Amino acid sequence: MKSSVKPVQRINTKTTSKKNVSSRVVRKNTSSLSRIGYATKRYGKQTLRDLLLSKTFHSSFKVLVGLLISGSALYGAYAFIGNSIANDVVVSKSEILARVAKHTPLPEGEPEAVVRVQDPESLKKQNNLYENVKEGDYIVIYPTLAVVYDLRNDHIVALKSTHR
């Protein structure tokens, strides 16, 4: 008996792989000038990549950043110390009395006290004589006279005279 069934044609179930297409664009009919420009650009990128990934660059960069941070810290310390020293000028008692004497006549003899103002807020609460006093001013106290003197601006801030 002959069968009337035709043999089934096998379909190839394997997928056909496509050729990998490179992402590089193929340039046709390019002039020699554009080929040189492309090669130069590629060489520049490669050189930059090599430079940025080199150990020499990393070491130099770390040293440069370290010097920058150290320099900033040293400058900050220098500015802070310079400011502190400028505010803490030490002047002798006789020098302060001589400067105050240029502005107002002082009584005979030695003063009871010559003090530098450290806390102006507490002084302002004590007496209205100290209303305009600032840190760093000097207070010269005699039995009959009290003078608040600003050394930095070389002027008398307040003056109070009492008669005993």
Give 30-40 pLDDT, tens digit per residue: 566 677 777 78
Q: Is the CB of residue 112 less than 8 Å from the CB of residue 143?
A: yes
Strand partners, 159: 147
What average pLDDT score do residues 135-141 get? Answer: 90
Give 38-84 pLDDT, tens digit per residue: 778 888 888 888 888 888 888 999 999 999 999 999 999 888 887 76
Residue 108 has pLDDT above 80, yes or no: yes
pLDDT at site 66: 95
**Secondary structure, 3-state, 111-163:** CCEEEECCCHHHHHHHCHHHCCCCCCCEEEECCCEEEEEECCCCEEEEEEECC
Please, which pLDDT band fits residue 102 given cuts at 50, 70 and 90? very high
Please, which pLDDT band fits residue 23 given cuts at 50, 70 and 90? low
pTM tops 0.95: no
Strand partners, 147: 140, 159
pLDDT at site 6: 61
- Using only C-alpha atoms, what is the Rg of the chain? 44
The single residue listed with the structure tokens 């500015």 is 79
pLDDT at site 69: 96
Q: Is the CB of residue 73 less than 8 Å from the CB of residue 81?
A: no
Residue 135 has pLDDT above 90, yes or no: no
pLDDT at site 63: 95
